[in-house]
Structure 1
Amino acid sequence: MIIGVPKEIMRGEKRVAAIPETVKKMVESGATVLFEKGAGVGSHYWDEAYEEAGAQTIADVEELFSKAEVILKVKEPQFNHEKNKHELDMMHEGQYLITFIHPASPANHQMVKHMAERGIIGLTLDGVPRISRAQSMDALSSMSACAGYKGMIMGINDISKFAPFVTSAVGRLKPATVFVIGTGVAGLRALATAKGLGAMVYSADIRPEANSNAESLGAIIVDTGVPAEIAVSADGKHANQLPEKWLEIERDHLKETIAKADIVFCSALIQGKVAPVLLTEELVESMNPGSVIVDISIDQGGNCAITTPGAVETKHDVIIQGIKNIPGMLSTSSTIMFSKNIHNLLTYLTKDNEIALDLSDEIVASILVTKDSKIVHEGALEAMGLK
């Protein structure tokens, strides 16, 4: 098996899909690893370390894409301005792509369709199910922890006030008010970070268990108004995609806390689906001037209706952060975690030094996006109106 690891070309992305440690393991298992020169520099890994681990370093990424049978990436395929062509157009039929594709996100629909047209077999890391045997492959959870920590630091940095309660010679200054919406892995890490910095923290989630976890970290829980039987899947593991009438009820319950928050941290996701819109433009307008929205759910469409993907903009005197690669700003830690997750998944999928997809397997069924020149991902098909 020939595995290719290209350099990430998304603006500001410093992560890489393999570290020397995982390259060595892949080579020892019988694979050939092609590594684009300089791909690890952003995470402080040099080409010499990859060569010592057994990788073949390649200067021309087009050659890497041409020769590899499997491509390991961090972010979804992008347009390569140096080559003046899209990364997908450098790939070939029957080639495997393992990365974060976020196929349900409207911003990625055309890319997913193009992937199918090219005959590329796409496997998305955001589809790895939250089950015990898949924990070591769950890059979404790993990256969510990074995004929760760094995203909250970014939010704190952008507000123009102290985070903690401060006593001074001229009187007391109240702590910043932080509202975390969605307390999964990212939300809990964000919550703990804000709490550790002394902010007053509120949180909301439609899942009772998530609220219990947030409360144990010191958050004040805001009721969403959504009954558990509507909010949570039958197995109790995941949040359901809510009909619009329940989203309206949830927004109504959240609006008072949103209006008084200095930071609204948006991390509510539905696995494999488009993220629920919980902040309308009207709710953004209700916020105080200088307040901040950190919308880390933007890869799946965003929780705020007016977040611009990949940008930080001020709208209605509110700073709205839509950065798409926050874990890339924590590149050393996130690369270590990500590379081990993706290697564990690759190992799971490999039999006799080849990828063998068992379509009846829960993990495979959850991550498969395109196969046989067709889009097969349920969430993507729903979001595209094709199902």
Structure 2
Amino acid sequence: MNTITAPLSSAEATLPARRPAAWHVDASQPVHFSVRIAHGLLEPANPLLAQQCGGTRHTPQRRLVVVDRNVDALYGEALRRYFDHWRIQATWQVLDIDESHKTLEHALVIVQAMERMGLLRRHETVVAIGGGVLTDLVGFACSLYRRGVPYLRVPTTLMGQIDAGIGIKTGVNQGGHKNRLGSYFAPAGVLIDPGFLASLDQRHLNNGVAEIIKMALIDDEQLFHALENTVGHMAPGAWAAPGGPLAAVMERAINGMLAHLIPNLWEQELSRSVDFGHTFSPALELHAKPVLLHGEAVAVDMALSLGLATGRGYLSQDEGVRALRLIERCGLPIQNPVFNLALLQQALAQAVQHRDGQQRLPLPGPLGHCVFVNDLRPEELANALAWLTHYRASTERLSA
């Protein structure tokens, strides 16, 4: 039987008195991805890349593959043969990429490629194949598109394989500042094939070595000794060879880098020893003429920081000079005309903003260890520049 209920009276319908409203949200999102060294990655018999792409040879899969144009020229045929073998229907986006292309506009080119393809939000992975600039750019675009689509990193440069390609940071340059726009967005995986390094020129290899020197100076004295012992044998083929001394150097550098990144993925702690060489270098990298590669700018920053560390007594003079010699022997610069006191002070001020109001300047001391400074004075910067000039003049006299 249907029942008709009389409406509530106005008194009965009155809501209770409002109390101050507050809700607490407590959530977390786990991060799971692997970083693997995989020789012969593009050999059709090697299933690793296909597995990361979800390919089985039984069910065709669609993937957007974003590849650096230089990499495509060298490895495009092998890449297409591999994807065809594993029945992965690749949509190709080939890009001209260098630091000048690391912009929001170029990230949107990748977004538009996803849109044209009709990329499914959770199951169709974007594959980024190239150097650190490309993997940063692709990761940033993937973090934006539909608030996040999965992507796989296949770094092809030494810089990408031991540094830029193995964390969760993405970013683009904006307004004359390096990586001013960015996100923390983990890849689905990272596959490192040192075989790609055989096709690099020596300058781009040296570029990556700068980040290995960084880890040695602030974290791993044994790695520093290994670099001193192998510095004369760093040709492209040597880096690509499995099982050699440089393979051990690479693995140790990756291990050290991840040991610092994993406990602090979202940089809640801003005193980061892996920021050594990255306080003054962003300004130099964007202002130097002719253009410096990222690792070259980091090398100049590290050289200045060695002057700061010796000036404070964190390093002995012998240790500081020994480190400078290693940087130079690795084909990296220690000075640049743009690196003057005004630019250094400007760069330090930007770093203070980035590090939440403190300098948090990492300096080596002693070799293989790190200290943080929050009270650096302008005269110390001037003294460090003078220290480098004196070192350069003394080495030129000795070689004359």
Could you state the TM-score of these two structures normalised by the residue count of structure 2?
0.30
Q: Which protein has the bigger helix share?
A: 2
Could you state the TM-score of these two structures normalised by the residue count of structure 1?
0.31
User: Considering only CA atoms, is the larger Rg found in Structure 1 or Structure 2?
Assistant: 2
Which one has more relative contact order, counting CA pairs under 8 Å at least 6 apart?
Answer: 1
Q: Which protein has the bigger strand share?
A: 1
